Homo-oligomer: A and B are copies of this chain.
Amino acid sequence: MANLTLVQAINLALVQEMEKDDRVIILGEDVGLNGGVFRVTEGLHKRFGGDRVVDSPLAESGIIGTSVGLAMAGLRPVPEIQFEGFLGPAYDQICTHAARMRTRTRGALTVPMTIRVPVGGGIHAPELHSDSPESIYTHTPGLKVVMPASPYDAKGLLISAIRDPDPVIYFEPKRIYRAFREEVPEDEYTIPIGKARVVAEGEEMTVISWGASVVQCMSAIEKSDRSIELIDLRTISPIDMETIETSVKKTGRVVIVHEAPKTCGVGAELSARIMEHCFLYLEAPVQRVTGFDTIMPYYKLELEYLPDTERISKAIDEVAVY
């Protein structure tokens, strides 16, 4: 056991999977000598050499498109996209190719690749370094979408993602890269993709979130004197409705928290499904606390945009008394 940050937990998972399986290779911008702009791949170039930790040209579509080829040939590429704002140029290769290859070839060709992407706001970064596009990829069949909210989960989920026979987008909430530490086992372990985590149990209400927002939810719940169940989705696609349903049938009240814009965000899907699965149990409308339907503002105003403890608390109170 070591007390690790989320960045360190990811780095450890990468090291261990690369040691174990030489089909695993890393490629991306500045992932080599520089160890990534967030130092997530620190030390890997030295340890595994330039053939396995590859500084690529500055071209996101190229990074993902060649990874599709590498994966079809049987390797397990782990491409990094430097910031979620630069997924845009790779959108087509992700959604038109990686996501479709297995089904369009009826399994003849597959794409076991894990796309690592720092995600989300709150670090005073420049434009396009603070977005939350998880809904886009959740709406795209053929992908799995994962976002850890703690160092322990980060390691276990990344190992699962790398070993998964299908393409996984592994979002790394950069706001909590180094925000806190947690005991992380040295040995390898996996956390199943598709299973949410009940962070805290409670009776009166269910709060659902993922990524960095889980931390805000925890502090809002701490401040409240109600008995609140907190679910960290961990996997955004597929959605673990079983865990959600069990909780909502118990509590009858739900608040969903995410950073992405509200309209057509993942919160909408959760809300719709909760109605579909738990209609007769709901005592209040499912409430969403989200980013606004605006462009993520530059950093002077970013804290106005991001769901904060105050807004979450407010929602909890409103839902509680509905």
Interface on A for B, CB 8 Å cutoff?
Answer: 61, 85, 88-89, 91-92, 95-96, 99-100, 103-104, 127-128, 135-136, 138-142, 237, 239, 260-261, 263-269, 271-273, 275-276, 279, 282, 284-288, 292-295, 298
- Determine the distance from Cα of A61 to Cα of B90 in the docked complex, in whole angstroms: 12
**In the complex the two chains form, is A239's CB within 8 Å of B266's CB?**
no
Ordered by A's residue number, 30 sampled pairs between the chains whose C-beta atoms are within 8 Å are A61-B89, A85-B96, A88-B91, A88-B95, A88-B96, A89-B92, A91-B91, A100-B295, A103-B294, A103-B295, A135-B139, A135-B264, A136-B139, A139-B260, A139-B261, A139-B265, A141-B263, A141-B292, A141-B294, A142-B294, A142-B295, A263-B269, A267-B272, A268-B268, A268-B272, A271-B271, A272-B286, A276-B285, A279-B282, A279-B285
* A263 and chain B: residue at smallest CB distance: B269
A103 to chain B, nearest CB (A): 5
Q: A138-B263, A239-B263, A272-B286 are in contact. List 20 more A-B contacts (CB 8 A).
A: A61-B89, A88-B91, A88-B92, A91-B91, A103-B295, A104-B127, A104-B295, A135-B264, A136-B139, A139-B261, A139-B265, A141-B293, A142-B294, A268-B268, A268-B272, A271-B275, A272-B288, A275-B285, A276-B286, A276-B287
Number of copies: 2
- Determine the distance from Cα of A103 to Cα of B61 in the docked complex, in whole angstroms: 27
- Determine the distance from Cα of A285 to Cα of B103 in the docked complex, in whole angstroms: 32
- Determine the distance from Cα of A13 to Cα of B162 in the docked complex, in whole angstroms: 51
A224 to chain B, nearest CB (A): 21
* A94 and chain B: residue at smallest CB distance: B88
A206 to chain B, nearest CB (A): 15
Given contacts A92-B88, A96-B85, A263-B239, contact A141 B285 (CB under 8 A): no
